[in-house]
Amino acid sequence: MNAYCMNCIISRQLENIKDFEDEALKADYMKEVMRIIIQADNGTRTPELFELIDELYMKYFGAQYDYKSLKDKYNTLMLEKEDYIWSRIINSEDSLKEALKYSQAGNYIDFASGNLDDDKIDRFIERVRYEDVDDNIYRQLIKDLDNARRLIFIADNCGEIVLDKLFIRCIKDKYPSLHISVLVRGKMVINDATMYDADMVGLTKLVDVIDSGTGIPGTILRKISPRAGEYIKAADLIISKGQGNFESLNGCGLNIYYIFLCKCDWFTRLFGMERFKGVFTNEHILFSETRL
């Protein structure tokens, strides 16, 4: 967590409470939010704080916005596009790479990064044909897939999980002996994918799906359930989607491939790219380059 993250947390909470009229109550709430930030130690990852802040919000204002209807909307929207996107994938020169690019583009569907533009979703999907991924990292991924026995795929958001399913389907088709598991959130948090979403989009019929046991919008290894921890420990290879998972996992030393879009000032600065550009990198390669 850094100054950019702290500012983002405070700004997001101000936005969340703007419609309440009791200014004294809002001031007390924001003081508590800042106390949570101040009391966090240097090793705290930003997603870790959101579970505490969600509990605080409940205490002051009651239940947060129910994202279920929006999750249903975006899961349904992407399911309607599934056959079209799958046909584009299987008719491409490299179906696995094409599926990876669609999975990456799906990371745009994130309520936490601001108001979603439905038209932009279509533009991101259509833009995939002009996008590419780092060939060196992609070749390393193929090499790791060739040698892996167990893969765990850490999902991020609703809607996006449909495109993740197509990527997983491609991996499963190419590596039928590879045991693939998917990790979703253990509780409803923002629009992050849970077991509910995995069921809704048919992912549970394709592979083994487990939940993290927490409502943290990321994967904090010391806080996930023992079962989820065992799955991660047993994996030869991990694919991690989204900024929240990157924020909470980077530096852990596991063989993780990160796939996400840069969505905030800190990440555009960190990776030297404009907002909503795609990042596809590997834990070992990233830290061997000492970029972080």
Lowest mean pLDDT among 6-20, 53-67, 92-106, 222-236: 53-67
Burial label, 133 (beta-carbon count in 10 A; 0-12, 13-18, 19+) = middle
Closest CA to 278 of 184, 193, 181, 160: 160
Q: List, for residues 229-248, the tens digit of each pLDDT value.
A: 999 999 999 999 999 999 99
The pLDDT-based confidence of 111 (bands split at 50, 70, 90) is low
The letter for the amino acid at 38 is I
Share of the chain above pLDDT 90, in %: 66
Per-residue pLDDT at 42: 82
Per-residue pLDDT at 17: 93
The mean pLDDT value for 179-183 works out to: 98
Helix crossing, 95-105 with 160-174: angle to 10°? Answer: 160
The pLDDT-based confidence of 129 (bands split at 50, 70, 90) is confident
Per-residue pLDDT at 124: 80
CB 231 within 8 A of CB 152: yes
The mean pLDDT value for 142-155 works out to: 97
Quote the tokens at residue 136.
Answer: 């060196």
Burial label, 172 (beta-carbon count in 10 A; 0-12, 13-18, 19+) = middle
pTM: 0.90
**What's the mean pLDDT when you consider all of the chain?**
91
Flag whether pLDDT at 292 surpasses 60: no
Quote the tokens at residue 69.
Answer: 């209807």
Tell me the β-bridge partners of 102: none
Strand, coil or helix: what is 234? helix
Per-residue pLDDT at 115: 56
The mean pLDDT value for 17-29 works out to: 94
Beta strands 179-184 and 208-211 are parallel
CB 106 within 8 A of CB 164: yes
The mean pLDDT value for 16-35 works out to: 95
Closest CA to 164 of 151, 146, 177: 151
The mean pLDDT value for 93-106 works out to: 95
Flag whether pLDDT at 204 surpasses 90: yes
The mean pLDDT value for 90-96 works out to: 96
Closest CA to 99 of 12, 165, 158: 165
